[in-house]
Copies of this chain bind each other. A is one copy, B any other.
Amino acid sequence: MEFEESGIGEECGVFGCVAAGEWPTQLEVAQILTLGLVALQHRGQESAGIVTSTGTNPPTFSTLKGMGLVNTAFKPEDLLKLRYGNLGIGHTRYSTTGISELHNCQPFVVDTLHGKIAVAHNGELVNASALRKKVMRHGVGLSTCSDSELITQLLALTPPMEELDNPDWVARIKNLMTETPTSYSLLVMYKDVIYAVRDPYGNRPLCIGRLVPISKLHSSGAGEADTEGWVVSSESCSFQSIGAKYYREVKPGEIVQISKNGVESLSVVPRPEGDLPAFCIFEYVYFARPDSMFEGQMVYTVRQRCGRQLAIEAPTDADVVSTVPESATPAALGYAQQSGLPYVEVLCKNRYVGRTFIQPNTRLRQLGVAKKFGALTDNLAGKRVVLIDDSIVRGNTISPIIKLLKEAGATEVHIRVASPPIRFPCYMGINIPTKEELIANKPEFKDIAGYIGATSVRYLSVEGLLSAVQGGIESHGKDERISSTTKTTRIGHCTACLTGKYPVELEW
């Protein structure tokens, strides 16, 4: 694949659904799961999987997995296999290993003494290596290198052994949470229940929605009695596409039980005294879909605020402001609003080219990423351009774009990056290049503008980013959409990749 310049990547989305009614449900759970995963597709395109349960006693679990995008991975005839599901969980996966195999596709299902459990997981256990050894020392062989299998085996072997008919999964989940502090947003399905779990640091997102009749979707009067089921998702952007209303976030450390009877908070496992929450700030900066909502605020709006802040921190004497489509657009509009400079488009993206498989010959390789973009010359000729990007990872993507703009007539190209330089690796579920590959750690960074061919380069400060993110949470203090817990909780975010300050000590 030629166009894998993108430097950082999310690791997966999770989605679950429980129908409110009795079995067999009238709700098309498998379809809802599929559409929910499609809405989370930006979080992982390598493989997708769904497991449904009849919710009966004993339940029947049905599994469907496939490589590639959701629409490639699942064939309509296969979805029929899942049609009697009353509840189910799904997963869309981003490969961090480079080895892409169906084998590693989630959710992971195992049969235990108490029956089957299915697990879907977003995040990365910081002490996975030690936990793997522990499990194997117990005599368990691990058939994949995924955290999901590790989690299922940890859940399965946790002592003490309860009564066969009445396993205490919540105690087991709590036990798991004491053994590994972060990072996981987890869905565990057992019989007719989904446990939705977020690690005590709340590093990965997870939120709950309520299915209501489509006709009452947007009306304010859809009351409790109208509830047709519940969904749980990595991002709220998925709710709209399946006809669900945003309900609330799962809190850091919380275990929520979702069943046909409703949503119940079973426990909140606390962080060590003094530790702040550590929701990944890059969800705001880059990963999440702009129409998703975290901590009571819309991602789009945060990005726009980052752009405004950037304009304050790094004003530019220029003619126009523009964006590297599409992810940097909210920040670019924010920059334009704050600076008073006109916003124009200067690049046209060919949405088909990304999937080109050709291994081009020398001649074509020189074209680089420019193949992906067409320059809108009329907006460029003779102009001094401020180009907003959301992040610069390796520096090899922005360089040909700058060249492209200049050749199309721009007299100056000022790069303004709506996030601080990435300097440190992530051990909590994000795929970042090694320290050595990051442009911010290279000698060339001293003259980054010269290196990438820009007239000037400026980054948003860490403080600026935090104020853009956290200022919004505070100002939304009275917003009903923020749970009271969030409001009273002290605010904190994981900025490890920017600052090297990891939320937990890394011992390995």
Binding site for B on A (CB under 8 A): 27-28, 31-32, 34-35, 38-39, 41-42, 63, 69-71, 76, 79, 102-103, 108-113, 117, 132-133, 136-143, 145, 149, 152-153, 155-159, 161, 213-215, 217-218, 228, 237, 240-243, 289-292, 297-298, 300-301, 329-330, 333, 337, 342-345, 348, 350-353, 355-361, 363-364, 366-367, 370-379, 403-404, 406-407
Contact = CB atoms under 8 A, between A and B. Distances in A.
A353 B345 CA distance: 25
Contacts of A111: 132, 136, 141-143, 145
B241 A298 contact: no
Quickly give the copy total for this chain: 4
B143 A140 contact: no
Contact of A243 (B71, B159, B363): B363
A343 B323 CA distance: 14
Contact of A214 (B63, B292, B367): B367
B291 A243 contact: no
Contacts of A298: 376-378
11 contacts: A28-B360, A32-B364, A113-B137, A138-B138, A141-B155, A215-B366, A218-B407, A228-B363, A240-B404, A242-B371, A301-B378
A301 B345 CA distance: 10
Given A241-B367, A289-B348, A343-B333, A139 B152 contact: no
Contacts of A366: 214-215, 243
A378 B300 contact: yes
Contacts of A360: 28, 31, 35
Nearest to A472: B378
Contact of A241 (B117, B218, B344, B371): B371
B141 A156 contact: yes
Given A113-B133, A291-B375, 6 more contacts: A70-B352, A113-B137, A138-B138, A138-B157, A237-B350, A289-B350
A343 B345 contact: no
Contacts of A240: 370-371, 373-375, 404
B109 A136 contact: no
Given A214-B366, A371-B241, A153 B137 contact: no
A371 B39 CA distance: 9
A320 to B, nearest CB: 11
A375 B301 CA distance: 12
A443 to B, nearest CB: 26
Contact of A357 (B27, B71, B159, B301): B71
Contacts of A149: 143
A157 B140 contact: yes
A308 to B, nearest CB: 13
B140 A358 contact: no
Given A358-B35, A374-B291, A378-B298, A28 B364 contact: yes
A27 B218 contact: no
Nearest to A372: B241
A291 B35 contact: no
